[in-house]
Amino acid sequence: MNRLTSRLLAAALCGAAALAPALLLAQTPQPTPQPAPRPAVPTPTPQPPSVEGTAWLLMDHGTGQILLGHNVDARVEPASIAKVMTSYVVAAEMAAGKVGADDQVRISENAWRRGGGGTDGSTSFLPVNSAHRLQDLLHGMIVQSGNDASIALAEHVAGSEEAFASLMNAYAQKLGMTGSSYANATGLPHPELYTTARDVAVLARALIRDFPESYAVHSMKELTINGITQHNRNSLLWRDPTVDGLKTGHTRAAGFCLVASAQREGMRLITVVMGSSSERRRADDSQALLNYGFRFFEAHQLYAGGEALSEPRIWKSSRDTLPVGLQEPLQIVVPRGKYEQIRAVLDLPKPLIAPATQGQAIGTLRLSLDGETLVERPLIALEDAPEAGFLGRSWDAMQLWWESD
């Protein structure tokens, strides 16, 4: 069978197959993900809770989607929320083999004077010149919010707190935290120390994802160091058994802050409340956001990584079609009862011309709901599509010219 006959046969087969549901994502695709069974009448979605903080949000951990928020990119002071980045940097440096959990960390006079028991801030009451395991100090910083532990860790990891702050900023840049600047390891007020609610959530998501063992420490309700027992200031750990972190913060300028996370039935949410008026209000608002999120949103896996979402015609190639799809699985979170209303569109070049290599970006998948774009992901070639020989390219060039006439 010659090449022309093969192409005509393939075209006929494609035309017949276009009637089948399996080719919903064909050359002019309008894919609609298949919904999970649900009641015929969707549950109405009430208004979100009223949150007092100057900046706040609710984020889905799995997708990074911000489900609710206010002033999410406004610059705010983080107070001890900055210690989440300190925790991330220490965990990353441990994973890289630069420091170890059993390292003996000395409490310098600087750490003692600026973060010790004689200060007004949170402290682990560590004696000057005493030495402690790095892992124990990390626990003290996370659970007790010890400023002395934070400074000592920074000095051990980077030589000085100033050098450690530069590491914090480097990791922030790597994580895409474009609205943050770190100047110390504690979160104590400084002109060059600021963040955003979005960046706090991005950091919390990264800590949970990248260093789950370090994140697990944030669920500890109390810790004893040097015979002194202190309780975790995250009161949600006592209120809600699904909450397993993350960190509180407070200064006069920053107000009362809380980043929290909880997991229910396989879905994890992150809340950030910055600039609240009291410990109780930051906890109440965070709890309300978590309850609302779990009650009125649902997560769905839409497409698998490497799955062919479409096989568009490719011209001037030794093959007739090219399978395209996503590099990684795609999950999305939507309000309950809205799943069937998701619309998906594949934006592909017309015409698609060879060559193409496996993994090459070919087009874009866009998912929308109620006219608003929810997600955009690059479509990649799932296989190679080398150029055809001279005759094949010439024939396709002639066909393209006929079709464009």
The residue annotated as part of the active site, out of 80, 87, 124, 180, is 80
Could you write out the DSSP letters of every residue in 221-250?
Answer: -EEEETTEEEE-S-THHHH-TTEEEEEEEE
Give the residue among 101, 134, 106, 107 at the shortest CA–CA distance from 123: 107
> Which residues share a beta bridge with 367?
344, 375
145 has catalytic annotation: yes
The residue annotated as part of the active site, out of 87, 108, 124, 145, is 145
Phi-psi region for residue 358, left (φ > 0), alpha (ψ -120 to 50) or beta? Answer: beta
Helix (H, G, I), strand (E, B) or coil at 69: strand
350 has catalytic annotation: no
Rounded Cα distance, 370 and 293, in Å: 19
H-only helix segments in 336-388 = none
Helix (H, G, I), strand (E, B) or coil at 282: helix
Rounded Cα distance, 99 and 105, in Å: 10
130 has catalytic annotation: no
Rounded Cα distance, 96 and 152, in Å: 19
The residue annotated as part of the active site, out of 83, 122, 276, 316, is 83
CA distances from 268 to 58, 92, 204, 263 (A): 11, 22, 12, 4
Give the residue among 117, 122, 121, 171 at the shortest CA–CA distance from 142: 122
Question: H-helix or E-strand containing 67?
Answer: strand 66-70
Q: Which residues are catalytically annotated?
A: 80, 83, 145
